[in-house]
Structure 1
Amino acid sequence: MTPRPVRDRQGVTVIGGGAVSDADLTQALGVAPVLVAADGGADQALALGRAPDWVIGDLDSISHSARRRIPSSRVMHVAEQDSTDFVKCLSRIDAPVVMAVGFAGLRLDHTLAALTAMVQPQAPCVVMLASDDVIFACPPRLMLPLMPGTRVSLYPMGPAQGTSTGLEWPIEGIGFAPGGRVGTSNRATGLVTLRMEGPMLVMLPRDCLGTALTALQRPLR
């Protein structure tokens, strides 16, 4: 098993090389104060005035100038090419939540790879911030106290099915699958509960971050 040297009882923020604003990073660090750069994400962090606590990756994207500014003791070179830099980071983090910024926008292939990593069985609890969305893997049981009319998008990353309450269009009896039936742009009618089998992403508006974090830390039994 891969050692997990990056540990924090509150949370860890991972920054990638995609689109990220100062507001994104500030919001993420308010939740998860330890900053890990996935390879070239170190340049993003430094450009926003934040020195990463750790840099993890195969180091093929980080600039020479960024590398000089970060102590070598805080750089983890993982040479293997069988996983993405985001996966390399996640597999070395021990924290109750990982906030991911800089993994949406710019490179669609990087975004898809990061979303795929989030639904893996061994992945920690990851919450990704995109320009308009909060994205996370649905646990087997989830309760979300949402205002009526709030967008609730469900996107399967493999065969999935479940039950729901509080959605305008219930999901009972639907076999979800990529390239098949998906559940984008559903809407809450109030308190939403989900019981899910299979890998499913939940996407909510950005102003629902606090609700999502509370729900993920207090899963429905």
Structure 2
Amino acid sequence: MSVLVHSEYGVTLVGGADFATTDLQDALSLAPCLVAADGGANMLADAGHSPQAIIGDIDSLRSDLRHRMHDKIHKIDEQDSTDFDKCLTRIDAPFVLALGFSGSRLDHTLAAMSSLVRFGSSRVVLVAEHDICFVAPPHLTLDTTKGQRVSLFPMGQCAGRSTGLFWPIDGLDFTPSGVIGTSNIAVTTQATLAFDSPRMLVLLPHAQLRSTIAALMASPDWQG
């Protein structure tokens, strides 16, 4: 599968769901390479931005943009993957910040979360209105504030260890239909997490985005 976007910097990847302009500005300050997933280019055009590439099956892109941005379009016709999947498998970058993949449609949000686990990289971060979400790497050290929410949700069977959380996770067997770890709380200014497989999603307050990227870049990824 050929890589379509190479970047030595982080990539801001935009989908077709709503996002705040301030969130886009924050993402671009961290990840200046801008890419659209199909109809995400419509959202960017409305916000006054032009992506470096548009990747997807191109069934949602406005006709005026198809004409104006034809040289940036990478059409992938197969229907066995989402546009988010198509982008993640064709971007080579240190990390990806994904906006516009969550919102009022829960099926879109769940599909995006499934994609995070399917590709098994902790360096893809979903950015939503109030939260950020990513796959926990094998080991992670987070800067936290006392009382801050640290939610964990398993997308498959997994186990781990923690320090700095009100409810330690050591010895727990996590599954989506059994033990989960939502609404845990940090009790110190630093929390550590370790897991045995790339199946645990970590959900943190949106304000933790910048420090989380730094923590993820300092941690080993499941894909090296």
TM range (shorter): over 0.9
| d(CA) in 1 for partners of 2:45, 2:91 | 21
Q: Which residue of 1 aligns with 2:173?
A: 175
Deviation for aligned residue 1:211: 1.5
Which deviates more from structure 2 when the two are superposed, residues 96-105 or residues 189-198? Answer: 189-198
| d(CA) in 2 for partners of 1:124, 1:218 | 11
| d(CA) in 2 for partners of 1:124, 1:134 | 12
Q: How many residues align?
A: 219
Deviations 1:69-102 (A, max 9, x none): 21x2210000001100000001110000000000
Contact 2:122 2:216 survives alignment (8 Å): no
| d(CA) in 2 for partners of 1:212, 1:94 | 20
Q: Which residue of 1 aligns with 2:58?
A: 59
Which amino acid is the alignment partner of residue 49 of structure 2? R
- Taking a change above 3 Å as real, the CA distance of residues 66 and 49 of structure 1, as seen in their structure-2 partners, is same
Partner of 1:189, secondary structure, is coil
Task: Please state if 1:120 is matched with 2:132.
Answer: no
Task: Please state if 1:219 is matched with 2:222.
Answer: no
Partner of 1:211, secondary structure, is helix
| d(CA) in 1 for partners of 2:4, 2:22 | 28
> Equivalences for 1:41-190 in 2 at 5 Å?
41-70=40-69, 72-121=70-119, 123=121, 125-190=123-188
- Taking a change above 3 Å as real, the CA distance of residues 15 and 38 of structure 1, as seen in their structure-2 partners, is same
Which amino acid is the alignment partner of residue 200 of structure 1? M
> Equivalences for 1:3-42 in 2 at 5 Å?
3-42=2-41
TM-score (norm 1): 0.95
Q: How well do the aligned residues superpose, as a CA RMSD in angstroms?
A: 1.4
| d(CA) in 1 for partners of 2:56, 2:196 | 32
> Gapped runs of 5+ residues in structure 1?
none
Contact 2:20 2:129 survives alignment (8 Å): no
Identity across matched positions, percent: 47
Which amino acid is the alignment partner of residue 204 of structure 1? L
Partner of 1:142, secondary structure, is strand
Which amino acid is the alignment partner of residue 108 of structure 2? H
Deviation for aligned residue 1:123: 4.4
Deviation for aligned residue 1:120: 2.2
Deviations 1:149-193 (A, max 9, x none): 110000111111101000000001111111221111100111111
Task: Please state if 1:207 is matched with 2:207.
Answer: yes
Contact 1:117 1:123 survives alignment (8 Å): no
